[in-house]
């Protein structure tokens, strides 16, 4: 077979350029990445061999081997794992997984020292080999097949693949080291790296050396095991250092950051299992990709089963990484059987409760650290508040944190309730695209004036979970300030001198009649463009605003649905007027005095469009808006 030459996917070429030119401060991590990949290959074959023992019958002692050739300046890492087919070579070594491709490109900064850190976040640690290599060769043969393949690249944009002889299954990676990487030809250097980063790998990592017998002069190959080769999660916590945990996290999750929180425990009783889980400190770029799943591997009696056990970890904890090792599941269980196995469901419930419990402790003991976590993963955790599951809702609500109209930093719902005003019976919130947008909403004005705290809900999931939280929190229901039923009249608030003066003044029946006349005129002009027109106490500075009826969709969720073409047009809303605003007062006086009939229709539409603009919406008819605005300006100038 003639060697086939191909170009790398564009994103891979960019990554290789970064790797080749970056002065990475810890280049030795390339060895950790290659060893982790080899361990994964062994894990996968060990699982496949449970149902097809012939796959590993010729060599069931899984092992990772390292050897050097000082004269040729090569470092070789080999395994007897599952191996790869030709298509898998192209897919695994020629492209970046589709879920990460666009995010990878978007997050390139142009600074090679910073960008090299993206390697691990996309599961492409193999390419770190080019930090120390001028050429990389991969010889591989898939278990259960007879044909091997040889992959070669210098990392400059192209690679070749051809059929090749390989006597056994597995993969051999040969690195032709750069001149400045000769340190990795030394046994002591390799041993230090393995013990630092890969001591926990549950397969022997052996260093191969050819030694000469001093008496017979015969040469023999020797194997020296460099790691403990025991499952870290089965060892006592007292035997494990923080560095051990960090390196296992980086191995298990192919990560480059340090874990934010480590959870290690053994469950005994009706179900026995070990669990070693990590909360990352960095958000994966594909966290909100629809195909994203958790990175928790399921083992049975130290044998890897799958990293795609759907029911093991709820989707709203998909940022977790680590291992769950169960003693009670059968070794030959299939992935299909796992989906309906009640033991998996029981383990999932127990693991979820433990994670939430540890997060609750963290929130109490390390407020600042927890706020950092919430900023990274809070939007995902809130997904657990939405849907059919209600078992963990109360705990999740206690864990939730929000920005608010009266406080700096993040606040909890318990904090909010502790600050509620006299007469306040609901938790007020406003939802929008971002904090800047909601802060500018006119509906907030009256609440701010009274000192009533309003929570800012700015994650897309917020509109959905808050609608399903029928019981509210601690007996206090949630109420959107953009709904007509958000009433401020019964709430005791801050009273200014001007407000106090107003309460002492007799009612101005003439002014009330003028506002009533204005409302009637606006209703007549706008017709079915609005659901109702009325005055409100929720405004202090703006003349008008729009609110939703209690039976209609909240305005922000309708806006989201329109953006996804699930709703074709905006529903008519209630137009609320600020009776204390000079514009509203003067318009009312004109109508009451029998004037302004010639421009009242234009004024009504301008008020409606102003309310829409305040909501971040365009005028319903931009051409008509421009005409009306121009005519009003001309009349005002003429007067």
Nearest to 197 by CA among 176, 228, 175: 228
Question: d(Cα 604, Cα 411) in Å, to the nearest integer?
Answer: 40
Percent of the chain whose pLDDT exceeds 70: 89
- Phi and psi dihedrals of 275, rounded to 5? -140, 130
We report the CATH number of the domain holding residue 352 as 3.30.230.80
Asked if residue 566 is part of any domain, the answer here is: yes
Asked if residue 492 is part of any domain, the answer here is: yes
Question: d(Cα 168, Cα 302) in Å, to the nearest integer?
Answer: 25
Asked if residue 376 is part of any domain, the answer here is: no
Per DSSP, the residues of 362-414 read: HHHH-HHHHHHHHHHHHHHHGGGGSSS--TTHHHHHHH--BEESS-SS-B-HH
Burial of 430 (0-12, 13-18, 19+ CB in 10 A): buried
Q: Do 42 and 143 share a domain, yes or no? A: yes
Segment 460-470, tens digit of pLDDT: 899 889 888 87
- Phi and psi dihedrals of 430, rounded to 5? -135, 135
Q: Do 454 and 411 share a domain, yes or no? A: yes
We report the CATH number of the domain holding residue 149 as 3.30.565.10
The range of the structural domain enclosing residue 40 comes to 4-225
> Domain ends where: 183, 201, 225?
225
pLDDT at 155 over 80: yes
We report the CATH number of the domain holding residue 446 as 3.40.50.11260
* Least confident residue range of 102-106, 280-284, 473-477: 102-106
pLDDT at 98 over 90: no
Query: What is the gyration radius of the CA atoms in the chain, in angstroms?
Result: 33
What residue spans of 66-115 are helical by DSSP H? Answer: 86-94, 98-106, 112-115
Asked if residue 390 is part of any domain, the answer here is: no
Segment 284-317, tens digit of pLDDT: 878 887 777 788 989 888 877 888 888 899 999 9
Question: d(Cα 34, Cα 44) in Å, to the nearest integer?
Answer: 15
> Domain ends where: 200, 225, 250?
225
Q: How far is CA 92 from CA 22, 87, 119, in A?
A: 23, 8, 14
| pLDDT mean over 274-290 | 89
| Per-residue pLDDT band at 204 (split at 50, 70, 90) | very high
We report the CATH number of the domain holding residue 519 as 1.20.120.790
Asked if residue 379 is part of any domain, the answer here is: no
pLDDT at 99 over 50: no
| Per-residue pLDDT band at 372 (split at 50, 70, 90) | very high
Q: Do 45 and 106 share a domain, yes or no? A: yes
Number of domains in the chain: 4
* DSSP single-letter state for residue 167: S
* Least confident residue range of 254-268, 357-371, 384-398: 384-398
Pairing mode of beta strands 64-69, 205-212: parallel
Q: Do 326 and 422 share a domain, yes or no? A: no
Asked if residue 183 is part of any domain, the answer here is: yes
Asked if residue 375 is part of any domain, the answer here is: no
pLDDT value of residue 124 = 53
pLDDT at 116 over 70: no
Q: Do 297 and 169 share a domain, yes or no? A: no
Phi-psi region of 138 (alpha: psi -120 to 50; beta: other; left: phi over 0): beta
Q: Do 510 and 608 share a domain, yes or no? A: yes
> Domain ends where: 202, 225, 248?
225
Q: Do 613 and 486 share a domain, yes or no? A: no
The mean of the pLDDT values for the chain is 86
Q: Do 210 and 332 share a domain, yes or no? A: no
pLDDT value of residue 100 = 45
Asked if residue 393 is part of any domain, the answer here is: no
Q: Is 325 helix (H, G, I), strand (E, B) or coil?
A: strand
Segment 604-615, tens digit of pLDDT: 999 999 999 988
* H helices, E strands: number in the chain: 21, 21
Q: Do 334 and 426 share a domain, yes or no? A: no
| pLDDT mean over 354-369 | 96
| Per-residue pLDDT band at 357 (split at 50, 70, 90) | very high
Q: Do 313 and 194 share a domain, yes or no? A: no
What residue spans of 10-85 are helical by DSSP H? Answer: 10-21, 29-51
Q: Do 55 and 139 share a domain, yes or no? A: yes
Q: How far is CA 104 from CA 13, 36, 98, 123, 129, in A?
A: 12, 22, 10, 11, 19
What residue spans of 412-540 are helical by DSSP H? Answer: 413-418, 435-439, 445-450, 462-468, 497-504, 509-526
Q: Do 192 and 252 share a domain, yes or no? A: no
Question: d(Cα 273, Cα 266) in Å, to the nearest integer?
Answer: 6
pLDDT value of residue 3 = 78
* Beta carbons within 8 Å of 42's beta carbon, 6+ residues apart: 62, 63, 64, 79, 80, 81, 82, 203
């Amino acid at each position: 077979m003639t060697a086939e030459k191909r170009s790398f996917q564009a994103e891979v070429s960019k990554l290789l350029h970064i790797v080749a030119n970056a002065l990475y401060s810890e280049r030795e991590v390339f060895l950790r990445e290659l060893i982790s990949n080899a361990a994964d290959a062994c894990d996968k074959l060990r699982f496949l061999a449970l149902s097809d023992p012939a796959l590993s019958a010729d060599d069931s002692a899984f092992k990772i081997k390292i050897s050097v050739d000082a004269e040729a300046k090569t470092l070789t890492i080999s395994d007897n794992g599952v191996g790869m087919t030709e298509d898998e070579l192209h897919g695994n070594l020629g492209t970046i997984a589709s879920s990460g491709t666009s995010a990878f490109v978007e997050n390139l900064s142009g600074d090679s020292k910073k960008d090299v850190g993206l390697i691990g976040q996309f599961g492409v640690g193999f390419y770190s080999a080019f930090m120390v290599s001028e050429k990389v060769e991969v010889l591989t043969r898939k278990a259960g097949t007879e044909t091997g393949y040889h992959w070669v690249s210098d990392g400059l944009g192209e690679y070749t693949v051809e059929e090749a002889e390989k006597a056994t299954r597995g993969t051999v990676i040969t690195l032709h080291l750069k001149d400045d990487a000769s340190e990795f030809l030394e046994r002591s250097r390799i041993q230090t790296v393995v013990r630092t980063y890969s001591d926990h790998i549950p397969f022997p990592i052996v260093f191969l050396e050819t030694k000469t017998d001093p008496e017979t002069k015969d040469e023999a190959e020797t194997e020296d095991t460099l790691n403990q080769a025991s499952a870290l999660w089965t060892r006592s916590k007292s035997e494990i250092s923080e560095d051990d945990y960090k390196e296992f996290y980086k191995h298990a999750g192919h990560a480059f950051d340090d874990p934010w929180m480590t959870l290690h425990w053994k469950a005994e009783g009706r179900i026995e299992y070990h669990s070693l889980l990590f909360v990352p400190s960095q958000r994966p770029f594909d966290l909100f990709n629809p195909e994203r799943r958790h990175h928790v591997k399921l083992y049975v009696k130290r044998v890897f089963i799958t990293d795609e056990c759907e029911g093991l970890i709820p989707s709203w904890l998909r940022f977790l990484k680590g291992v769950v090792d169960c003693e009670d599941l059968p070794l030959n269980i299939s992935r299909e059987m796992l989906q309906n196995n009640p033991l998996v469901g029981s383990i999932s419930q127990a693991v979820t409760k433990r994670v939430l419990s540890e997060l609750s402790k963290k929130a109490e003991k390390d407020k600042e650290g927890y706020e950092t976590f919430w900023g990274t993963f809070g939007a995902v955790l809130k997904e657990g508040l939405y849907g059919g599951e209600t078992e963990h809702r109360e705990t999740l609500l206690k864990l939730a944190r929000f920005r608010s109209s009266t406080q700096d930093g993040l606040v909890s719902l318990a904090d909010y309730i502790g600050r509620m005003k006299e007469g306040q019976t609901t938790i007020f919130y406003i939802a929008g695209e971002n904090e800047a947008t909601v802060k500018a909403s006119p509906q907030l004005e009256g609440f701010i004036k009274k000192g009533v705290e309003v929570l800012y809900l700015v994650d897309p999931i917020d509109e959905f979970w808050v609608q399903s939280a029928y019981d509210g929190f601690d007996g206090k229901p949630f109420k959107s300030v953009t709904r007509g039923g958000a009433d401020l009249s019964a709430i005791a608030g801050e009273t200014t001198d001007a407000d106090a003066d107003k309460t002492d003044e007799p009612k101005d029946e003439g002014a009330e009649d003028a506002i009533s006349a204005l409302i009637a005129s606006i209703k007549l002009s706008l017709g079915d463009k609005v659901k109702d027109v009325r005055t409100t106490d929720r405004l202090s500075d703006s003349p008008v605003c729009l609110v939703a009826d209690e039976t209609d969709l909240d305005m922000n969720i309708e806006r989201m649905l329109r953006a996804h073409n699930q709703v074709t047009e905006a529903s008519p809303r209630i137009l609320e007027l600020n009776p204390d605003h000079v514009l509203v007062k003067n318009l009312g006086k004109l109508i009451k005095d029998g004037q302004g009939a010639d421009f009242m229709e234009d004024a009504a539409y301008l008020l409606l469009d102003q309310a829409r603009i305040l909501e971040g919406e365009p005028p319903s008819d931009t051409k008509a808006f421009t005409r009306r605005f121009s005519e009003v300006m001309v009349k005002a100038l003429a007067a």
